[in-house]
């Protein structure tokens, strides 16, 4: 196949610069601009709107068609036919496991769910009212203190152990974060339970009585984790890759991903959606809120709407919208006062020119919060749940990068500051 080329002509450069163009297995071609630095030229793309930072075989999004593929499998099919553990294996290994591989993977995860007892002491250094994401950043980062000295990231078996430990331990730390905040004792993982049943157990069981996870809620929890598992080079995954590109401890790299996820423009949006719905309070208040959203001088946004890549619907939002109905029916809260507000906001956004012109559709965060609230997860823990689901994606991208030749990430800049000047005197 003839190699594709691009040509850059530029004032001040005599000859056009020829640049290689690469085709992916699907999606947009990319222009390789690496040779420009030798010619003293940088490209400029704040926010990386049209920049591919790497090549990856893990997840593909077609934002114009609302397509999301984990290793080629459509998210709708995985949500219907697969489960979170199987998707973790798929993201990490590039293929669906056979029954024996799946059983071995799950057994491996189950036998790494406990955390070092000394980590329990870490929690007591946080104020009880600390935001759970602040605690998670500390607790996950602290894992790097327990798994560092003999960790060789260039050894694939060590990398696989990192993946298993993080997928297994982050839910335990997430539940510990919640228990600490409400003054209840930590609940140890139960190996006879499934991943999601065990998470609900660690979250809501107490030593005082038998706790049987509700299968409908466990299924919804599993779907939430599965739908959040990966999303190509989003801000938190790019943070993990950039931190990992220095050779930093992978547990610390995942902690940096949790930090990036916390922001309300990213994973913090699910918490912000509930705050927004509660602030609106009643359908009659929606028109005034929409006026504020459209007002350029008002920073308020319609949280849970819009996306850097999806300029059509976010397929995850569709799956979650259906799952929300099941959970609310199971919990007998079909008339949750927030649901009609959410539905009316969605109706307006899908009909109003302001939102249509800007391709603002509900994203994964719009409905996830409604489900999490129905399950009984406190609002300030929503992004912790997102981080728990996204862990396999973060780890898969870290592993993919370290498994192949890579360079330390070091962007350049357009300098606009003072040129050289002498110190006075
Ligand atoms: C996630 O990247 C990923 O893949 C992320 C994620 C993942 O799985 O990892 O999908 C998870 O982070 C989902 C997004 C969650 N965030 C929110 O719901 C917060 C609200 N949404 C926005 O802040 C915004 O839509 C972003 C940050 C998600 C995307 O922003 P972009 O692509 O930079 O788009 P933009 O800010 O340039 O907006 C384009 C226009 C602007 O208006 P104009 O200046 O052109 O007039 O749309 C407007 C924006 O003001 N706009 C919104 C809006 N989002 C964009 N206006 C009102 N409400 C919104 N939510």
pLDDT tens readout for residues 128-175: 999 999 999 999 999 999 999 899 999 999 999 999 999 999 999 999
Window from 60-69, 334-343, 390-399, 401-410 with minimum mean pLDDT? 334-343
Q: What is the pLDDT confidence band of residue 370, given thresholds at 50, 70 and 90?
A: confident
CA of 377 to the centre of ligand 1 (A): 25
Q: Could you tell me if 149 and 207 are in contact, meaning their C-beta atoms sit under 8 angstroms apart?
A: no
Question: What value does the mean pLDDT of the chain take?
Answer: 95
Ligand 1 probe mutation, 49, 307, 319, most atoms within 8 A of CB: 307
| Residue 360: pLDDT over 70 | yes
Q: What values do phi and psi take at 22, rounded to 5? A: -110, 145
Q: Which of 248, 251, 43 is nearest to 163 (CA)?
A: 251
Q: Is the CB of 303 under 6 A from ligand 1?
A: yes
Q: Is the CB of 269 under 6 A from ligand 1?
A: yes
- Please tell me the predicted confidence (pLDDT) of residue 338: 87
pLDDT tens readout for residues 225-284: 999 999 999 999 999 999 999 999 999 999 999 999 999 999 999 999 999 999 999 999
Angstrom distance (rounded) from CA 189 to CA 198: 6
- Please tell me the predicted confidence (pLDDT) of residue 251: 98
| Residue 1: pLDDT over 70 | no
Angstrom distance (rounded) from CA 241 to CA 257: 9
pLDDT tens readout for residues 168-226: 999 999 999 999 999 999 999 999 999 999 999 999 999 999 999 999 999 999 999 99
- Please tell me the predicted confidence (pLDDT) of residue 2: 57
Q: Known catalytic residue: 129?
A: no
Q: Is the CB of 365 under 6 A from ligand 1?
A: yes
Give nearest CA residue, ligand 1 atom 8: 231
Listed in sequence order, the residues at least 6 apart from 18 whose beta carbon sits closer than 8 Å to its beta carbon are 5, 6, 7
CA of 407 to the centre of ligand 1 (A): 30
How many angstroms separate the Cα of 378 from the Cα of each of 204, 264, 362, 422? 11, 17, 22, 57
The four Cα atoms 82, 88, 93, 94 give a dihedral, to 10 degrees, of 50
What is the crossing angle of helices 215-227 and 382-403, to 10°?
A: 50
Angstrom distance (rounded) from CA 102 to CA 99: 5
| pTM strictly above 0.85 | yes
Instruction: Given the residues 62, 266, 336, 352, select the one marked as catalytic.
Output: 266
Q: Is the CB of 311 under 6 A from ligand 1?
A: no
């Amino acid at each position: 196949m003839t190699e594709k080329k691009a040509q850059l002509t530029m004032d001040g450069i005599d000859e056009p610069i020829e640049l290689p163009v690469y085709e992916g297995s699907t999606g947009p071609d990319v222009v390789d601009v690496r040779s420009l630095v030798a010619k003293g030229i940088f490209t400029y793309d704040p926010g990386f709107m049209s920049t591919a930072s790497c090549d990856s075989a893990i997840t593909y999004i077609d934002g114009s068609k609302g397509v999301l593929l984990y290793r080629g499998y459509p998210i709708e099919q995985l949500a219907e036919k697969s489960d979170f553990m199987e998707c973790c294996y798929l993201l990490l290994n590039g293929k669906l496991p056979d029954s024996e591989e799946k059983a071995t993977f799950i057994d491996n995860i189950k036998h790494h769910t406990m955390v070092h007892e000394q980590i329990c002491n870490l929690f007591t250094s946080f104020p009880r009212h600390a935001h759970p994401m602040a605690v998670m950043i500390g607790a996950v980062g602290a894992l790097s203190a327990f798994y560092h000295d003999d960790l060789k990231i260039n050894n694939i078996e060590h990398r696989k152990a990192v993946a298993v430990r993080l997928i297994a331990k982050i839910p335990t730390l997430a539940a510990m974060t919640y228990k600490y905040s409400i003054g209840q004792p930590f609940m140890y993982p139960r190996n006879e339970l499934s991943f999601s049943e065990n998470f609900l157990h660690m979250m809501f069981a107490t030593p005082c009585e038998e706790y049987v996870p509700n299968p409908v809620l466990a299924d919804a929890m599993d779907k939430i984790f599965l739908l959040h598992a990966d999303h190509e080079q989003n801000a938190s995954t790019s943070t993990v890759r950039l931190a990992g590109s220095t050779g930093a401890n992978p547990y610390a790299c995942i902690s940096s991903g949790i930090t990036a996820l916390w922001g309300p423009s990213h994973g913090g949006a699910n918490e912000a959606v509930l705050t927004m719905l509660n602030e609106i309070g009643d359908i009659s208040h929606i028109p005034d809120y929409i006026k504020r959203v459209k007002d350029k001088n008002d920073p308020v946004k319609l949280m849970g709407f819009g996306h850097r890549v999806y300029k059509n619907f976010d397929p995850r939002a569709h799956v979650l919208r259906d799952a929300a109905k099941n959970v609310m029916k199971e919990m007998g809260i079909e008339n949750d006062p927030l649901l009609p507000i959410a539905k009316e906001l969605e109706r307006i956004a899908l009909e109003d020119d302001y939102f249509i012109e800007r391709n603002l559709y509900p994203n994964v965060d719009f409905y996830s919060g409604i489900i999490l609230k129905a399950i009984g997860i406190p609002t300030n823990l929503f992004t912790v749940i997102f981080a728990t689901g996204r862990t396999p994606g973060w780890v898969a991208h870290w592993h993919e990068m370290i498994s192949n030749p890579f360079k330390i990430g070091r962007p350049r800049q357009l300098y606009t500051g003072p040129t050289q000047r002498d110190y006075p005197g």
